[in-house]
Amino acid sequence: MTHRLPVRVYYEDTDLAGIVYYANYLKFIERGRSEWLRALGIDQVALKAGGHVFAVRRIEADYLRPARFDDLLSVETALSQMTAARIVVDQTVRRGPDLLFTARVTLACLDGAGRPARLPKGLAQALATG
């Protein structure tokens, strides 16, 4: 399942030329991942209270075309791979049919001490069936 999150580009997201500053794409896709998990019924606050958090381990990003002030973008998020303690998510940012940005994000599941941990069963099931 691909989750889509609409994102409007505000002035604060752009540089002096009115083009989205490169680091803001990372913020856009972070929001996309959070809303994707929420749509799957995964409560990240409850995960943290249970001693599990996600940390970005690796990100591969390609900036293909610029987004500009006032563009309406779509952040698309889909599960690519899942192991016992890690998930890999493919994300894109589009303006209509135009592909602007792609990323593959590897997330590690960590325990409260920051050590790798197995994905909780309920989380793994939600991801697998989502």
* Catalytic option among 15, 43, 70, 98: 15
71 classed as catalytic: no
Instruction: Order across the sheet with 53-63: list the strands.
Output: 3-8, 72-82, 86-95, 98-110, 53-63
Contact 30, 36 (CB under 8 A): no
C-alpha of 125 from chain center: 19
Give the DSSP H or E segment for 3. strand 3-8
- Which two tokens mark 88? 């890999």
- Which two tokens mark 52? 């599990």
Tell me the catalytic residues: 15
